[in-house]
Structure 1
Amino acid sequence: MKYVIGIDLGTSAVKILLVDQNGNVTQEVTKQYALIQEKPGYSEQRPEDWLEQTIAGLAELLEGFHGEVTAIEGISFSGQMHGLVLLDEQQNVLRPAILWNDTRTTAQCKQIYDKVGEARLLDITKNPALEGFTLPKLLWVKEHEPEIYARARTFVLPKDYVRYRLTGTLHMDYSDAAGTLLLDVANMNWSSELCDVLDIDVNLCPPLVGSHEEVGHVTEEMAEKTGLSSATRVFAGGADNACGAIGAGILSEGKTLCSIGTSGVVLSYEQEGTKEFGGKVHYFNHGAPEAYYTMGVTLAAGHSLSWFKDVFATDVSFDVLLSEVATVPVGSNGLLFTPYISGERSPHADAMIRGSFIGMDSRHERKDFVRAVMEGITFSLNESLEVFRQNGKEMDTIVSIGGGSKSSEWLQMQADIFQTPIVRPSSEQGPGMGAAMLAAFGCGWFASLQDCADSFLEMDEIYHPFQENVVKYKELFAIYQDVYGQTKQLNDSLSRYRM
C-alpha cells in the first residue's frame, strides 16, 4: 500500500494526515502552538514553533506507522493565508510572523489606495486592500521597523517556511500568493507595477509554483528528525481555503463550498480569471491547475452561535441548544439577527459594524434566539452567494462542511435559504485532505485532481430546498439586507463608547 501525507498548518495547531491509496485516513496527529498578542489588534506567531510542532507531529505519526517508510511517497501542505514571514540573506527569520487576523495595518491599507487607486488595485489583484492581507503588513514593517525591513531579502507565507525547512527550497504557490495583494491574479505573476508604485523591491517576492508541483525532497537532516525517507517527494500545496475546496471536491463549474466554522466561507469554482466582482467578494487562484475561486467570508459565523451560548446558555450543550430549533418556525417568530459581532467582511468590508437582534418581544424564548442566530449566519453567507449569482454564476451543488453540517436542521436551512441542494460529505477532513490529494496527484496516482476526488471522496446526505420555506426566506432575506444600511450610522456613533 502506498501513502501520502497532508500537513495543514492552521492558526492554533498543525494537523497531519496519513492517507492511503484509497483515500482512507489511517493516522492523524495534531500539535498545538501559541498565539502572541502583545497589543490590541496584534496577532503573531513564532515560525520556529510551527517547524518544531510539525517535526514532532511527523515523528509521532511515523512512530505509529508499521509499513515501509518508503511507501510514504509524497507530502504536501495547506496553510493559514496572508501571514508575513520575513527572511534575511541566509533565510533566517527576522521577526515573529504577523498573522492573517492581525488588524494593525489600517493606515497601510489607506496608503495602498492613495498610491495605487482602488480601481487599479482591483484590476490587478481582484481584491480590496484589507488589514488581513500580506502587503499591508510588509508596508507596516517598512514604516515601523525599518532596520528589520532593510535586512529582508524575501518573504514567504507560513506553510512555505515550514516546507522550506523540510526541503531547503523556497517557493510560494499561486493560491497563497493571491492572498498577498501583490499577485497579478489573472496573469499569474508578481505585479512589478504594484511593487514600483509602493517602493517595494520585486525581488522580495519568492519564486512561484503550482500547488501540485514538486519542489524537492525531504532533506537528510529532516529525515533523521522525523523518521521520513529522504526520498519522500514534497509538493508545494496551497492556501487553506483552496485546499479545503479540493478536499471537498470543488473542482468544476457549478460546485460551491459552504464552510461554517468560527468564521464562515462560501467558495465557488471558477475556470476563468477574468470576472469582476468589484471587491465585494474575494477572487483567488485555486490549488487546482489553471483555475480560480470566488469566496465570500462571514467573520463571525459559528462564533456568533458560540458567543450566544457562552453568554445566555451556559447550562446546556450545543446538542440541546440546536435540538430546540426544530420546533421554531421559519423566521424565528419575527426575530432577525445580523452576525456582525466582530465586524463584517463580505460583501460589507466594515470593521466597525456590529450585530443586531431586530424584532424582539416578550414572547420570544431562547430557542427563537438560537434559530434567529442560525438564520442570520446563513443569510450573511447568502449575501455572498447573491454576489456570485448577480455576476452570472450558476450553482448546482453546495457541499457543506464544518459546524454547520453537524445539524440536519441547519443543513435544511442552508438548502432553503441558498435555494440549492446541499450535500454533506460522509467523512470530512478539510484542508489536510486537500493537501494529501495534491500530493497524490503530484505523485502520479491520478490523471487529475478530479479523478482523485472521485476516488477519495464520498458524499452522504442530500438536502433539497422546500419550496414553501424558500418563499418565506426570500422575503426575510430582503429584510435582512436592509439592516446593514439602517444600522451602520448608529454603530458608527456607538463606536466611541466601546471599551
Structure 2
Amino acid sequence: MRIAGLDIGTTGCKCTVFDENGCELGRAYRDYSIRRGTGAHEIDATVLIDAVYAVIGEMAHKFENISGIGVTSFGETFVMTDENGNVLAPAMLYTDPRGAEECAALSEKLGKNHIARVTGITPHEMYGLPKMMWQKRHNPEIFAKARHIMQMEDFVVYLLTGNAVIDYSLATRSMGFDIDKLAWSSEIFDAAEIDVGLMSRPVPTGSDAGVITKSVADKTGLPSDCHVIAISQDQVAAAIGSGAFSPDVAVDGAGTVQCLTPIFDQKPDVEKMMPGKYVIVPYVIPGTYVTYAFSYTGGALISWVTKVLAKQEALLAKESKLSVNEYLEKQYIQKRELDGVDTEGPSGMLVLPHFAGAATPYMDTESKGVIIGLTTDTSVAEIYRGCMEGVTYEMYLNYRNVTEAGANIKKLHATGGGAHSTTWMQMKADVLNIPIIALNSVDAGTIGSAMMTGIALGLFKSLDDAAAHMIETRKTYEPRQNYHEKYMEVYERYEKVYSAVRPVM
C-alpha cells in the first residue's frame, strides 16, 4: 500500500508519496502565480487545479498502487463554481483588502463579541464570509450562478470525488462556522445574506470523502479505487505532522510565515483570546482546540535580507562553498570576536518584523518593518541576526499572550526550513526559555496529511502509531538561563517599539 499527501499552498502545490512504513518515496511540485494589485489579491483556481492534476499525475506514473491521497490547503480563500465545478471568478486571497466594509456591517448587525463566541474568530476581512458578501454586492450576476462556494481543500476534494466536504478546521476560516455545534451557523449566514446551502458539508479532520471519479483516474493515472481524504487547513496538518497531540507541546512552524500553534484540552475562553485576535479551531482530537499565533514574516524576512541586502555576501559565500545564511552567520561571529563581545546572545539591533504587515496580536496590515540601531559600522550580518531576533521576539510576545489565555506549553516541536538553523533554534529556546525539538522533515504538513490518510485507510492504528512510523526528531535545544536573561533585557525595549513608531508610519 502507498499513500500520498497533497499540500496546496498559495504559490504552489506538492504531492508526496510514502510506502506502508511511512518512508518517503518521492515528491512532485508545481508553482503558480498570484495577482496582487492595489485593490485586489487573487489566484486563478483553474490554474491551481491544473497544477494539482500535474503533481498527482507525476506521482501516480512513478508509483503504482496509491491507495489514498490526503488533501490539505491554505485557508480563507474561496472558489465559486457552477454545478459542474467550473470556476466562475478569480478566487480572492486572504490578503485581499476587499470585504472590510462588509465585515464592519456584519459586526455591527450581530456584534463582534457574539460572532467570536460562535465562530471562535474575531471578525476580520481576511476571512471568507465578508469576501462572499463583497462578491454578492459587486458581482451579483456572477454570484447568482454559484452552486458551490468552497475553500481550496473542499474545492480539490470535490473535483477529485464529486463530493463537496470540508473539514472542521478549514470550515472555521470562513467566519461562519459554529465551533460548538460543529456546523455552519445559519444565524451568521442569514445575517450576511449568503445561502448556507452553497457551502460544503463539514466533516471531522481526516474523513474519507470517497473514491476518485473515472475522469480523474483517466486524467492522472491513479487507481480507480483510490480514496481521497479531507484533511485540514495546512497549519493543523503541520501540527499533526509534528506530533503535537497534547497541551504541553506546541508547534513552531518556522517557514515563510512564523507560526506558533498551541493545543488546548478544552475550549479556551473567547474573551481572553479576542484581544490578541487569536482564533479557536477544532483540532483532530475531539474536544481539543488549537490557535495560531503568527507573524507574516518569519523565513520571509530572512530571505529578504539575503536577497536584497546580501548580494555581495551571496557571491562570497558561493566562492567559500557555503550557503549565504552560513556565510552571514560566520561573518557575524567574526565581527563580534573582533569587537571583543559575546558571539551569542543579543546583537544590539531592534527589528520590528512587520515587513508584510503585523499578524497576531495586532492584525494590522498597515504596520511596517523597523530597524533600530543602525550605524555606519553596522554589517549586513548584524542586520541578518537582528531580523532573526526580531521574529523571535514577536514569537515570544505571542507565546506570552497565549500562555495568559490558558495555553500550557512546556516544549516546542519545530518544523519548516528555519528548524534546520542551529543558530535560530538555540535563540528561540533561549528567548522562550523552553526546550525546542527540531524535527528532521521540513514538511510537516505533508507528513500530517499522509498520517491521517494512513489512519483513514487502516494502515496506522492511531495518531501515536502513525507518528512512530513517520516523524523523526533531529536535535533538542535546551534553554540557557543566562542568555534568556540577556534577551529579556532587550525584549523590554522591543515590546515598546510598535506603539512608539506606529503613529508615524
User: Which TM bucket (shorter chain)?
Assistant: over 0.9
Q: Distance in 2 between matches of 1:473 and 1:333?
A: 9
Q: 1:61 aligns with which of 43, 59, 62?
A: 59
Q: Distance in 2 between matches of 1:468 and 1:443?
A: 49
Q: Distance in 2 between matches of 1:243 and 1:465?
A: 27
Structure 1 residue 295 and structure 2 residue 292: aligned? yes
Residue pair 2:45, 2:91 contacting (<8 A) in 1 also? yes
Q: In structure 2, give the amino acid aligned to 1:58.
A: I
Q: In structure 2, give the amino acid aligned to 1:293.
A: V
Instruction: Label 1:115 to 1:323 Cα distance change in 2 as closer, same or farther (>3 A).
Output: farther
Partner in structure 2 of residue 34 of structure 1: 33
How big is the shift at 1:271?
Answer: 2.5
Residue pair 1:213, 1:442 contacting (<8 A) in 2 also? yes
Structure 1 residue 375 and structure 2 residue 364: aligned? no
Partner in structure 2 of residue 306 of structure 1: 303
Q: 2:329 aligns with which of 311, 322, 326?
A: 322
Per-residue Cα deviation, 1:465-494 (whole angstroms, up to 9, x for no partner): 011001111222221111111111111xxx
Residue pair 1:335, 1:368 contacting (<8 A) in 2 also? yes
Within a 5 Å distance, the mapping from 1:81-100 to structure 2 comes to 81-100=75-94
Within a 5 Å distance, the mapping from 1:97-116 to structure 2 comes to 97-116=91-110
SS of aligned partner of 2:311: coil
SS of aligned partner of 1:278: helix
Q: Distance in 1 between matches of 2:437 and 2:494?
A: 25
Give the unaligned 5+ runs of structure 2.
Answer: 314-323, 337-341
SS of aligned partner of 1:237: strand
Q: In structure 2, give the amino acid aligned to 1:324.
A: Q
Instruction: Label 1:487 to 1:258 Cα distance change in 2 as closer, same or farther (>3 A).
Output: same
Within a 5 Å distance, the mapping from 1:212-361 to structure 2 comes to 212-276=206-270, 277-280=273-276, 281-316=278-313, 317-326=324-333, 328=336, 329=342, 332-361=346-375
Within a 5 Å distance, the mapping from 1:379-458 to structure 2 comes to 379-458=393-472
Instruction: Label 1:128 to 1:61 Cα distance change in 2 as closer, same or farther (>3 A).
Output: same
413-422 or 348-357, which deviates more: 348-357
Instruction: Label 1:41 to 1:325 Cα distance change in 2 as closer, same or farther (>3 A).
Output: farther
Q: 1:137 aligns with which of 131, 135, 143?
A: 131
How big is the shift at 1:319?
Answer: 2.4
SS of aligned partner of 2:495: helix
Instruction: Label 1:325 to 1:77 Cα distance change in 2 as closer, same or farther (>3 A).
Output: farther
Q: Distance in 2 between matches of 1:60 and 1:365?
A: 45
Residue pair 1:212, 1:288 contacting (<8 A) in 2 also? no
Q: In structure 2, give the amino acid aligned to 1:302.
A: G
Q: Distance in 2 between matches of 1:292 and 1:164?
A: 26
Q: Distance in 2 between matches of 1:469 and 1:340?
A: 25
Q: Distance in 2 between matches of 1:205 and 1:273?
A: 25
SS of aligned partner of 1:431: helix
Partner in structure 2 of residue 6 of structure 1: 5
Q: Distance in 2 between matches of 1:210 and 1:465?
A: 37
Per-residue Cα deviation, 1:120-139 (whole angstroms, up to 9, x for no partner): 12111222222321112101
Within a 5 Å distance, the mapping from 1:180-195 to structure 2 comes to 180-195=174-189
Instruction: Label 1:172 to 1:296 Cα distance change in 2 as closer, same or farther (>3 A).
Output: same
How big is the shift at 1:55?
Answer: 1.7
How big is the shift at 1:41?
Answer: 4.3
Q: Distance in 2 between matches of 1:351 and 1:203?
A: 32
Q: Distance in 1 between matches of 2:285 and 2:51?
A: 28
Structure 1 residue 196 and structure 2 residue 190: aligned? yes
Per-residue Cα deviation, 1:171-199 (whole angstroms, up to 9, x for no partner): 11101001111111233111112112222
SS of aligned partner of 2:35: coil
Q: Distance in 2 between matches of 1:426 and 1:406?
A: 8
How big is the shift at 1:326?
Answer: 4.3
Residue pair 2:206, 2:456 contacting (<8 A) in 1 also? yes
Per-residue Cα deviation, 1:189-222 (whole angstroms, up to 9, x for no partner): 1111211222222222221111211111011221
How big is the shift at 1:307?
Answer: 1.9
Partner in structure 2 of residue 123 of structure 1: 117
Q: In structure 1, give the amino acid aligned to 2:50.
A: E
Q: Distance in 2 between matches of 1:461 and 1:180?
A: 37
Q: Give percent identity, aligned residues only.
A: 29
How big is the shift at 1:291?
Answer: 3.0
Q: Distance in 2 between matches of 1:128 and 1:152?
A: 27
How big is the shift at 1:119?
Answer: 1.2
Q: In structure 1, give the amino acid aligned to 2:291.
A: T
Partner in structure 2 of residue 480 of structure 1: 494
Partner in structure 2 of residue 496 of structure 1: none
Per-residue Cα deviation, 1:355-386 (whole angstroms, up to 9, x for no partner): 21223334433322221111001111111111
Residue pair 1:322, 1:407 contacting (<8 A) in 2 also? no
Residue pair 1:299, 1:340 contacting (<8 A) in 2 also? yes
How big is the shift at 1:90?
Answer: 4.2
Q: Distance in 2 between matches of 1:190 and 1:217?
A: 25
What's the RMSD between the two structures over aligned residues? Answer: 1.8
Q: Distance in 2 between matches of 1:274 and 1:196?
A: 27
How big is the shift at 1:168?
Answer: 1.0
SS of aligned partner of 1:304: helix
Q: In structure 2, give the amino acid aligned to 1:11.
A: T
Partner in structure 2 of residue 462 of structure 1: 476
Per-residue Cα deviation, 1:197-249 (whole angstroms, up to 9, x for no partner): 22222222221111211111011221121111111122111111111111111
SS of aligned partner of 1:214: strand
Q: Distance in 2 between matches of 1:367 and 1:59?
A: 43
Residue pair 1:115, 1:198 contacting (<8 A) in 2 also? no
Instruction: Label 1:459 to 1:41 Cα distance change in 2 as closer, same or farther (>3 A).
Output: farther
Q: Distance in 1 between matches of 2:443 and 2:256?
A: 16
How big is the shift at 1:411?
Answer: 0.6
SS of aligned partner of 2:47: helix
Per-residue Cα deviation, 1:66-108 (whole angstroms, up to 9, x for no partner): x5x2xx2211111111111112344432212212232222222
Q: In structure 2, give the amino acid aligned to 1:48.
A: T
Partner in structure 2 of residue 497 of structure 1: none
Partner in structure 2 of residue 22 of structure 1: 21
Q: Distance in 1 between matches of 2:288 and 2:406?
A: 17
Q: Distance in 1 between matches of 2:41 and 2:465?
A: 39
Q: Distance in 2 between matches of 1:347 and 1:325?
A: 31
Residue pair 1:122, 1:279 contacting (<8 A) in 2 also? no
Instruction: Label 1:175 to 1:279 Cα distance change in 2 as closer, same or farther (>3 A).
Output: farther
Instruction: Label 1:274 to 1:376 Cα distance change in 2 as closer, same or farther (>3 A).
Output: closer
How big is the shift at 1:338?
Answer: 0.6
Partner in structure 2 of residue 153 of structure 1: 147
Residue pair 1:237, 1:287 contacting (<8 A) in 2 also? no
